[in-house]
Amino acid sequence: MKAVFMDVDTKETIVPINKDFANGFGIRPRIGNSLLARFLEHMRGKEKVPLFSFAQGAAMLHANGFEVSYSLNEIPGEADLVMFAPAMANHKSEIKKMHEVKERVPGVKVGVMGTFATVRPDVFVEHADFVIAGEPEEALQKIKGKDSIPQGIVKSESLMDLDALPFPKWDIFDYKKFTFKPIIRETPFGFILSQRTCPYGCYYCPYRFGGKYRQKSPERTVEEVEHLVNRYGVKGIMFRDPIFSMSRERAEKIAKLLIEKNLGIKFVIETRLDRLDKELVDLLYEAGVRVIKIGVESADKKMLVRSRRLPIEIQHQEDMIGYCDKKGIKIVAFYIIGLPDDTKDNVLNTIEYAKRINTHGAQFTVCTPYPGTPYFEEVKDLIDDHNLEHYDSFTPVFNHPNLTKDEIYSLKEKAYLSYYIRPKYVLSYIRRSLKA
């Protein structure tokens, strides 16, 4: 039995669609049309981040006796099952590829999985043999041969014991090319997802899908790090968890176990700054943390509260950013343009705040009403762009009450150019890079 996990890259932009971000909805970074904007997009395009669900899905089917492989654009000569996980931004190309697979591979079955397929299975059900709605592992572990391949929309319940999952099978990819440069230099680069969903209530956030919040145990998490080091030779790792230090006790235990194992890896985490303190930062640094991704979103506290995001106390936020910088930990901050009550002045204030705290990296995205989120329900009557491929975190798709689409585009490009093209940032970039 042969199973192929198929990806489709249309090469429409300098930066490929990253299907693993926005919880699998995917993003397509588009900074702007100027030469400087295109240059920044080119720099961003150096990242090589694979689709985690493919590696995990491959491990599930391999355990059931399948010969598993990965294909980018190329239709396999033969296969019993071909799985797709479309991002919103290129799902039409993936649907087209599904039909090509059905036409050219005798007897093949085509399946679709992922967050977009979960919230909008109707988009795919006419084009595939089955669509998995939900985290795919439960459905995939039931496929033990061609006779057990399902039909139609398949409800897949979330597995509660994440420790029971097999380690992702990264060797279906050319894994030695994985990288998160230029933020972190270490390669080969690996990935771990040790948590599922997010316990917070930000109503625009796509990471709330997937049922109850769950975590792997510290012991199983560190065992997976060892597996990446020993099996794949990785030297750097990104934890794909939305809030790595949600449990301080768990984060501390993981750090202490990594220090004890002395694996020599450097890694990236994402978390909230109110889930960090200096003592924990010290421990995480000793364990190998060199990059922390954080959500700032807006400099306006009222805007955050309106979006049901729990604000972080500003003094603590800035203290932690400064402390991490002195330790040699790079901070990458995320900001959102076009939150519900945003005005041009609010966005400009947020851009100025971003420049003032001057983190190593900054990403400015457009607030996007992903299907299935409370935010989508709030603004659905304002949506005037129903091309789902434009839901990419960088394109306005509805009539904002205070900002025109042209203003949003302009503010987004201004945010990137005014942030990255300035002496203070260039000097701090050089300083941090030399310290790494």
How much is the average pLDDT of 191-216?
A: 89
Q: For residue 361, what are its two tokens?
A: 């990296």
pLDDT at 14: 52
Residue 174: per-residue pLDDT: 92
Evaluate if residue 18 carries a pLDDT over 90.
no
Question: CB–CB of 267/237 below 8 Å?
Answer: yes
pLDDT per residue as tens digits for the range 211-224: 789 999 999 999 99
The answer on pLDDT for 357 being more than 80 is: yes
Q: What DSSP string describes 109-167?
A: EEEE-SHHHHH-GGGTTTTSSEEEES-THHHHHT--SGGG---EEEE-PPPS-GGGSPP
Least confident of 227-231, 307-311, 332-336: 307-311
Of the candidates 314, 333, 341, 340, the residue with the CA atom closest to the CA atom of residue 415:
333
Distance CA 291, CA 284 (A): 10
Band (pLDDT 50/70/90 cuts) for residue 12 is: low
pLDDT computed for residue 45 by the predictor: 60
Within 8 A by CB and 6+ apart from 199, the residues are 213, 243, 246
Query: Is 209's pLDDT higher than 80?
Result: no
**What's residue 10's pLDDT?**
66
Average pLDDT score over the chain: 93
pLDDT digits (tens, 9 = 90+) for 367-413: 999 999 999 999 999 999 999 999 999 999 999 999 999 999 999 99
How far apart CA 360 and CA 354 sit, in angstroms, is 11
Please state which of the ranges 41-50, 152-161, 251-260, 282-291 shows the lowest mean pLDDT. 41-50
Give residue 257's pLDDT band: very low, low, confident or very high (50, 70, 90).
very high
Task: Locate 344 and state its tokens.
Answer: 């041009």
Please report which confidence band the pLDDT of residue 110 belongs to, taking 50, 70 and 90 as the band edges. Answer: very high
pLDDT at 393 (0 to 100): 95
| CB-count exposure of residue 279 (10 Å: 0-12, 13-18, 19+) | exposed
Percentage of residues in the chain having pLDDT higher than 70: 97
Comparing 37-41, 89-93, 132-136, the range with the smallest average pLDDT is 37-41
Count Cβ atoms within 10 A of the Cβ of residue 214 and give its class: 0-12 exposed, 13-18 middle, 19 or more buried.
Answer: middle
Can you give the pLDDT at residue 40?
A: 84
Question: What gap in Å lies between CA 353 and CA 356, rounded to an integer?
Answer: 5
User: How much is the pLDDT for 239?
Assistant: 96
Give per-residue pLDDT as tens, 54-68.
Answer: 999 999 999 999 999
DSSP code per residue over 203-252: TT-GGG-SSS-EE--HHHHHHHHHHHHHHH--SEEEE--TTTTSSHHHHH
Inter-residue contact 137 to 60 (CB < 8 Å):
yes
What is the rounded CA–CA span in Å between residue 276 and residue 130?
43
Q: What is the pTM of this model?
A: 0.95
What confidence category does residue 127 fall into, taking pLDDT thresholds of 50, 70 and 90?
very high
- Give the pLDDT score at 120: 96
**Domains of the chain (ranges plus CATH)?**
2-10+51-155 (3.40.50.2300), 174-435 (3.80.30.20)
DSSP string for residues in 78-103? S-SEEEE---GGGHHHHHHHHHHHHH
Round to whole Å and give the CA distance between 225 and 44: 26
Lowest mean pLDDT among 41-45, 149-153, 162-166, 240-244: 41-45
pLDDT of 294 strictly over 70: yes
Tell me how far apart the alpha carbons of residues 117 and 103 are, in angstroms, rounded to a whole number. Answer: 22
From the CB of residue 180, how many other CB atoms can be counted at a distance below 10 Å?
A: 21
- Residue 400 gets which letter from DSSP? -
**Letter for the amino acid at 119?**
V
- Helix, strand or coil for residue 307? coil
pLDDT at 185 over 90: no
What does the pLDDT read at residue 16? Answer: 73
Query: Is the distance from CB of 49 to CB of 180 less than 8 angstroms?
Result: yes
Q: Using CA atoms in the order 273, 279, 284, 289, what is the torsion angle rounded to 10 degrees?
A: 60
Work out the pLDDT band at 113, boundaries 50, 70, 90: very high
pLDDT at 15: 60
Residue type present at position 408: I
Q: What is the pLDDT of residue 50?
A: 86
Confidence at 87, pLDDT banded by 50, 70, 90: very high
Q: Order of strands across the sheet with 2-7?
A: 67-72, 2-7, 81-84, 109-112, 130-133, 152-155
Axis crossing angle, helix 248-261 with helix 218-232, rounded to the nearest 10: 40
Structural contact between residues 83 and 53, judged by C-beta atoms closer than 8 angstroms: no
Pairing mode, if any, of strands 266-270 and 236-239? parallel
At 7 the three-state DSSP class reads: strand
Is pLDDT of 436 > 70?
no
pLDDT at 181: 82
